[in-house]
Structure 1
Amino acid sequence: MSDNNLPILHSYWRASSPYRVRIALGLKNIEYQYAPVNLLENKQASDEYMQKNPAKLLPTLEIDGLVLTQSVPIMEYLEETRPNQGVHLLPSDPIKRHTVRQITQMVASDIQPIQNLRLLKKLKEDFNVDEQGKAAWSKHWIELGFNSIEKVLEKTAGKFCVGDDVSMADCCLIPQVYGARRYGVDMNKYPIIARIERACAEMEAFKKAHPEQQVDKF
């Protein structure tokens, strides 16, 4: 922990997993210190960082005397330890709670891991896939996932992913939309996702968490 006892979030400005946690921290009104980890310089593989996260992945959150990893369990921890602070990342209704977790995992398990940085590096190293090929790969898997999510949202969405209350599902969806735009996904094909993106963009937690607002952005 830091000298002033603020939580420390180890993050990279453009990576979607720490982006999720930045949003969640904002929604829970938790101040924190930002500790940049440059993935392009392989800083996540440094001895110092691996002491905190042996998996060499982001994010890592130091909070409450603990060192937490993996974005979804981190967000659940924040909700479970601070249920009356900020907004509820998970609804109390068990059916809605399942739906939030369903959409969360559709992003965190089905889309993001297939097009993250280390996989794209492997495509280049082992199969000589060029930048255009890597972009096409990423776009394909994002669109496949968004096709499914859009169908789910037809039944679940209000202002946000699940009704009119922002949740952990929105914390996961919005960073993936940012990635989708990077890879040229036509968001006009996903009107509900695009509408939720606009609603989230009005909230301060999402504004502050945006990659363009981070100190290590270049």
Structure 2
Amino acid sequence: MSEAVLYDFWRSSASYRLRIALALAGIDTRPVPVDLPTLRHKTPEHVARNPQGLVPVLEIDGDRFTQSLAILDYLDETRGLSLLPAEPAERAHVRALAHSVAVDVHPVCNVSVAAYAVELSGREEAREMWMRRFIAPGLAAFEALLARWEQAPYCTGAAVSLADICLMPQLYNADRWGADYSDCPRILTVKAALDAHPAFAAAHPDRHAPG
């Protein structure tokens, strides 16, 4: 089997999701940092890997993949991670929970989007205000959606699901930007359980920071 290579940025939410899944699958990868603040993702070299100029990019099984949610599906299907239930209706509910942060909150809190808010306003503090404006309500909605499942101890039961993998990077961003979710007891319980999970600990941005 060819070497697996992960092009990512340590603080990227999408990259963080993928590192979690790779750790769950026990897949060793050769990391290639792509520094977003210095626009390394916009270089011809990286755009040749991903025409969108985004991270992560995963080279594995003789192929190259982009878009973190699509890659998570691939790893789930090829490595048997059981990130989604087998029953179609329940599968849709778990996917909707995961997408509530990965599809609805994360894109508007992307680094480039927040930077544009600063550019438009001319105020650096607009970045933090922007992040809080979207992250806190998104997490409150996630908390309400969690009521469908028993707390045992992860988002949707006793096993890690796609929802857990999508939630934790958003909580990292919430903590980074001071978005308050202290009134979300179920999220706090899930976070405590996932903080203790070896795959989530191994994938944490602090473990992958440069230097």
TM-score normalised to structure 2 length: 0.94
Q: 1: distance between equivalents of 2:22 and 2:150?
A: 23
Which of 99, 104, 118 matches 1:105? 99
Q: What amino acid does structure 1 have at the position aligned with 2:37?
A: L
Q: What amino acid does structure 2 have at the position aligned with 1:187?
A: Y
TM-score normalised to structure 1 length: 0.92
- Once the 2 structures are TM-superposed, how far is the Cα of residue 129 of structure 1 from its aligned partner? 4.1
Q: 2: distance between equivalents of 1:81 and 1:17?
A: 20
Q: 2: distance between equivalents of 1:123 and 1:140?
A: 12
- Once the 2 structures are TM-superposed, how far is the Cα of residue 96 of structure 1 from its aligned partner? 2.7
Match of 2:188 in 1: 194
1:6 corresponds to 2:9: no
Task: Count residues with an aligned counterpart.
Answer: 210
Which of 31, 35, 40 matches 1:34? 31
Q: 2: distance between equivalents of 1:38 and 1:76?
A: 25
- Once the 2 structures are TM-superposed, how far is the Cα of residue 31 of structure 1 from its aligned partner? 1.2
Match of 2:52 in 1: 55
Q: After superposition, give the CA deviation of every residue in 1:113-142 in whole Å (9 maximum; x if it has no partner).
A: 1111010122223x1342321111111101
- Once the 2 structures are TM-superposed, how far is the Cα of residue 27 of structure 1 from its aligned partner? 1.0
Q: Are 1:139 and 1:184, in contact at CA under 8 Å, matched by a contact in 2? A: yes
Identity of aligned residues (%): 36
Q: Are 2:82 and 2:161, in contact at CA under 8 Å, matched by a contact in 1? A: yes
Q: Are 1:24 and 1:168, in contact at CA under 8 Å, matched by a contact in 2? A: no
Match of 2:158 in 1: 164
Q: Are 1:24 and 1:89, in contact at CA under 8 Å, matched by a contact in 2? A: no
Q: 1: distance between equivalents of 2:150 and 2:140?
A: 15
Structure 1: 4+ residue segments shifted above 4 A: none
Q: Are 2:2 and 2:62, in contact at CA under 8 Å, matched by a contact in 1? A: no
Alignment of 1:7-156 (within 5 A): 7-83=4-80, 87-125=81-119, 127-156=120-149
Which of 165, 169, 174 matches 1:180? 174
- Once the 2 structures are TM-superposed, how far is the Cα of residue 68 of structure 1 from its aligned partner? 0.5
Q: 2: distance between equivalents of 1:194 and 1:142?
A: 15
Q: 2: distance between equivalents of 1:69 and 1:138?
A: 25
Q: 2: distance between equivalents of 1:42 and 1:146?
A: 29
**Deviation larger for 180-189 or 9-18:** 180-189
Match of 1:213 in 2: 207
Q: 1: distance between equivalents of 2:12 and 2:54?
A: 10
Q: 2: distance between equivalents of 1:157 and 1:198?
A: 16
- Once the 2 structures are TM-superposed, how far is the Cα of residue 81 of structure 1 from its aligned partner? 1.4
Q: Are 1:99 and 1:162, in contact at CA under 8 Å, matched by a contact in 2? A: no
Q: 2: distance between equivalents of 1:11 and 1:34?
A: 7
Q: What amino acid does structure 2 have at the position aligned with 1:67?
A: R
Q: Are 1:9 and 1:33, in contact at CA under 8 Å, matched by a contact in 2? A: yes
Q: What amino acid does structure 2 have at the position aligned with 1:46?
A: T
What stretches of structure 1 of length at least 5 have no aligned partner?
none
- Residues 213, 157 of structure 1: CA spacing in aligned structure 2 closer, same or farther, 3 A cutoff? farther
- Residues 129, 103 of structure 1: CA spacing in aligned structure 2 closer, same or farther, 3 A cutoff? farther
Q: 1: distance between equivalents of 2:142 and 2:34?
A: 30
